[in-house]
Amino acid sequence: MRYRNLAIIAHVDHGKTTLVDGMLRQSNVFREHQEVVERVMDSNALERERGITILAKNTAVEWHGERINIVDTPGHADFGGEVERALGMVDSCLLLVDAAEGPMPQTRFVLRKALALGLRPIVVVNKVDRKDARPDEVVSLTFDLMVELGADDEQLDFPILHAIAREGRAWREGEAPGHDLTALFEAILAHAPVASGDPAGPFQFQVANLDYSDFLGRLALGRITRGTASAGDTIVRLAGDGRSVRARLTKVYTHLGLQRIEVDQVVAGDIVALAGIEEVQIGETIADPDHPDALPRLTVDEPTVSVTFSPNTSPFAGRDGRYVTSRHIADRLERELLTNVALRVEPLGGESYRVAGRGELHLSILIEQMRREGYEFSVSRPQVIMKTIDGVRCEPFEKVVADVPVEATGGVMEALSARRGQLVDMDQGETRARLTFSMPSRGLFGFRTQFLSMTQGEGLLSHVFDGYEPYVGALRTRPYGSLVAMEQGEAFAYAIWKLQERGVFFIDPGTEVYVGMVVGANSRPGDLEVNLTKNKKLTNVRASGSDDNIVLIPPKRLTLEACLEYLADDELLEVTPKHLRLRKRLLDANMRKREAKRAAEAADTEDAVVAAG
Ligand SMILES: Nc1nc2c(ncn2[C@@H]2O[C@H](COP(=O)(O)OP(=O)(O)OP(=O)(O)O)[C@@H](O)[C@H]2O)c(=O)[nH]1
Ligand SMILES: [Mg+2]
């Protein structure tokens, strides 16, 4: 059997997973009448709920007797680590580009990685059915992008297909629209190289991913670069720490469709799973014990954002969670590190851990996953990770593309420049404009909510990490304070009603609150302490009133991401399986005042030192 190993890469939502559906269906890997959901590769719960791919996953199809291993990758910038890992397993890639949107920030990121590895992309202009599709322009923009990223002549000579992934159709540019994906499969067989690797050589394999089975323990997934392997073979694991550990393979698997298939032997070139190697980790080489040749370790970009995870210390701690101690949190984070290649965890002393990732979504997906598993903990405000480069303090910068209705252009430009965004490009059409900014990652924190309201939900905002630049100085942070509960108890509708002009509430009447819990956003700077547990006789409001007679503005319900965006430095997010509560780090108002005074004094002293110096 010959193998072709192919990654599908693109910006978020350009249709990768939908295209894989079509490839699976049309290569007859499903049983007849088998019910198959849409975007079948997005198999985990969070992927299905959010409609995005989070983890890279592999599948395989056969076309005219040729095996094609396909790795579907996520398009969201925060999961770039997954793409980097996937690209290490393949020899070619399909670069999908939305026929209307054209190349976007993450297109640049994934393409840069693919070109650097010497891959020759096949360009698929997808969604040509869109009424705003402009495939020719998109191809020329893609070409320009490749030139800019330093593609060589061979890479620039890319085949071009047009596709409607949703209908399972693709055809060569300039040809009549096809009715299925035949043209795509033909292009893959013609352009994607057959996987190299001498099957007669000594066994060598690199671990690109891990899976777990109750019966078999850890499974190592990856590509065989040399030789063959069978159950019962003795191999050596070349561990990250330099040790060589022998093990015996208990089972070996290949892939077809959504199945993992146990076989007698797996062969060079294929993407396979090996069972029986205890403690195996991503990036390690598995080899013939007589030829322990390690492959270069997998490298992924560094994280740019971090939060602190600590045990939950709120008065309501332990009510919902099954796993609540620092030990539980540490064990869970350690387990996450096995497969989440771009994540970093560092103990901070005491009971806290610094958890660093590639963006807020990268971290919030982990937080959401953990709360669903029964964990309870608190999370601090996200911080960017600074770096000193040649003695200069630097911070992460992003390339930001805002696609907005023309009317919103001015407002968005103003808002982003207030956040230190530099406009680097502007492309104005009749109804929409595309603004490209370069700006500090910090400046984007908390911007998404504002952006959506500025563009009435019509704006598209995407950004991707673009390197470190010198620190640009303090940015204006959240311009308003919080409404903070001053009594523990149930929040009464009457109390909320009395206070609703003072800001925006995050909680419903009847919610249990505690001292120091953040219940809303103040409309002014500084925090406002509010008592929500007072229930006056409603006769004060109306002669014969009841709760039904007071008109409450519905509370603003914050999602996990919105909570993280909201947090100030002196606040925490309390995460439990059932609740997300914002709180002050110091629950006691007097302690907060003392702390604020101390901070102000320290700042004064600093100023004095600066003045004296
Ligand atoms: N009009 C149109 N929509 C499409 C086409 N292909 C996919 N879509 C839609 O685009 C959306 C995103 O599709 P996905 O396949 O999830 O995109 P993706 O690239 O896998 O997204 P991520 O993995 O999150 O980066 C879905 O709503 C699809 O139905 C197409 O050819 N035409
Ligand atoms: Mg996807």
Distance 97 CA to ligand 1 centre (A): 11
Q: Does ligand 1 come within 6 angstroms of the Cβ of 106?
A: no
Of residues 607 and 211, more confidently modeled = 211
Residues 6+ apart with CB under 8 A from 355: 306, 307, 308, 309, 333, 343, 344, 345, 363, 366
Distance 269 CA to ligand 1 centre (A): 30
Side-by-side strand order, sheet with 3-9: 57-63, 66-72, 3-9, 92-98, 120-126, 160-164, 169-172
Nearest one of 372, 430, 440 to 405, comparing CA atoms: 430
Structural domains of the chain ordered from first start: 3-191 (3.40.50.300), 204-287 (2.40.30.10), 305-384 (3.30.70.870), 389-470 (3.30.70.240), 482-596 (2.40.50.250)
Distance 19 CA to ligand 1 centre (A): 8
Nearest one of 358, 344, 298, 303 to 79, comparing CA atoms: 358
Residue nearest to atom 3 of ligand 1 (CA): 127
Neighbours of 72 (CB within 10 A): 26
Distance 48 CA to ligand 2 centre (A): 10
From CA 354, how far away is CA 198, in angstroms rounded?
A: 44
The SS3 of residue 2 is: coil
The percentage of the chain sitting over the pLDDT mark of 70, rounded to a whole number, equals 96
How many CA atoms lie within 13 Å of 605's alpha carbon, on the beta-carbon side?
6
Strand segments, DSSP code E, in 441-485 are 460-470, 482-485
Q: Does ligand 1 come within 6 angstroms of the Cβ of 579?
A: no
Q: Does ligand 1 come within 6 angstroms of the Cβ of 99?
A: no
pLDDT value at 215 more than 90: no
pLDDT value at 315 more than 90: yes
Distance 139 CA to ligand 1 centre (A): 19
pLDDT value at 423 more than 60: yes
> At residue 536, what are phi and psi to the nearest 5 degrees?
-75, 155
pLDDT in tens, 19-53: 999 999 998 777 777 778 889 999 999 999 999 99
The SS3 of residue 1 is: coil
pLDDT value at 609 more than 90: no
The SS3 of residue 118 is: coil
Give the ligand whose atoms come closest to the C-alpha of residue 164: 1
Residue type, 226: R
The per-residue pLDDT of the chain, averaged, comes to 92
Residue 608: its pLDDT value, please?
54
From CA 278, how far away is CA 131, in angstroms rounded?
A: 53
Model confidence at 596, in pLDDT bands (50, 70, 90)?
Answer: confident
Distance 126 CA to ligand 2 centre (A): 13
Q: Which helix (H) or strand (E) holds 339?
A: helix 326-339
pLDDT value at 242 more than 90: no
Residue nearest to atom 27 of ligand 1 (CA): 13
Give the ligand whose atoms come closest to the C-alpha of residue 39: 1
The SS3 of residue 442 is: helix
Q: What is the mean pLDDT of residues 566-590?
A: 96
Residue 603: its pLDDT value, please?
75
Q: Does ligand 1 come within 6 angstroms of the Cβ of 219?
A: no
> Of 13, 43, 70, 106, which is best to mutate to test ligand 1, by the most ligand atoms within 8 angstroms of its C-beta?
13
Model confidence at 600, in pLDDT bands (50, 70, 90)?
Answer: confident
Distance 17 CA to ligand 1 centre (A): 7
Model confidence at 141, in pLDDT bands (50, 70, 90)?
Answer: very high
Neighbours of 483 (CB within 10 A): 26
144's tokens: 């320009």
Q: Which helix (H) or strand (E) holds 336?
A: helix 326-339
pLDDT in tens, 427-462: 888 888 999 999 999 998 888 888 988 998 889 999
Model confidence at 324, in pLDDT bands (50, 70, 90)?
Answer: very high
Q: Does ligand 1 come within 6 angstroms of the Cβ of 443?
A: no
CA angle 251, 257, 259 (to 5 degrees): 35
Q: Does ligand 1 come within 6 angstroms of the Cβ of 39?
A: yes
pLDDT in tens, 455-513: 988 899 999 898 999 999 988 778 899 999 999 999 999 999 999 999 999 999 999 99
pLDDT in tens, 350-392: 899 999 999 999 999 999 999 999 999 999 999 999 999 999 9
The percentage of the chain sitting over the pLDDT mark of 90, rounded to a whole number, equals 81
Asked if residue 522 lies in contact with residue 530, where contact means CB atoms within 8 angstroms, the answer is: no
Residue nearest to atom 7 of ligand 1 (CA): 15
Closest atom, ligand 1, to C-alpha of 106 = 25
Q: Does ligand 1 come within 6 angstroms of the Cβ of 100?
A: no
> At residue 167, what are phi and psi to the nearest 5 degrees?
-105, 5
Distance 21 CA to ligand 1 centre (A): 11
Q: What are the Cα distances from residue 23, in Å, to 63, 105, 307, 446?
A: 10, 26, 40, 39
Residue 34: its pLDDT value, please?
76
Inter-axis angle of helices 182-191 and 16-26, nearest 10: 100
Give the residue ranges of DSSP H helices in 53-163.
80-87, 105-116, 135-148, 153-156
Q: Does ligand 1 come within 6 angstroms of the Cβ of 343?
A: no
Q: What is the mean pLDDT of residues 4-8?
A: 97
Q: Does ligand 1 come within 6 angstroms of the Cβ of 27?
A: no
Distance 39 CA to ligand 2 centre (A): 7
CA angle 592, 595, 600 (to 5 degrees): 125
Distance 555 CA to ligand 2 centre (A): 33
Q: Which residues are in the CB-under-5-Å shell of ion ligand 2?
A: 16-17, 53
Model confidence at 606, in pLDDT bands (50, 70, 90)?
Answer: low
Neighbours of 434 (CB within 10 A): 18
Distance 76 CA to ligand 2 centre (A): 9
Asked if residue 267 lies in contact with residue 220, where contact means CB atoms within 8 angstroms, the answer is: no
Q: Does ligand 1 come within 6 angstroms of the Cβ of 165?
A: yes
Residue 613: its pLDDT value, please?
39
Q: Does ligand 1 come within 6 angstroms of the Cβ of 11?
A: no
Residue 543: its pLDDT value, please?
38
Residue 413: its pLDDT value, please?
95
Nearest one of 505, 556, 555, 564 to 530, comparing CA atoms: 505
CA angle 526, 528, 532 (to 5 degrees): 160
Q: What are the Cα distances from residue 410, in Å, to 269, 355, 425?
A: 53, 37, 14
From CA 49, how far away is CA 368, in angstroms rounded?
A: 12
pLDDT value at 537 more than 70: no
Residue nearest to atom 32 of ligand 1 (CA): 127
pLDDT in tens, 57-67: 999 999 998 99
Q: Does ligand 1 come within 6 angstroms of the Cβ of 164?
A: yes
Residue 612: its pLDDT value, please?
47
Model confidence at 542, in pLDDT bands (50, 70, 90)?
Answer: very low
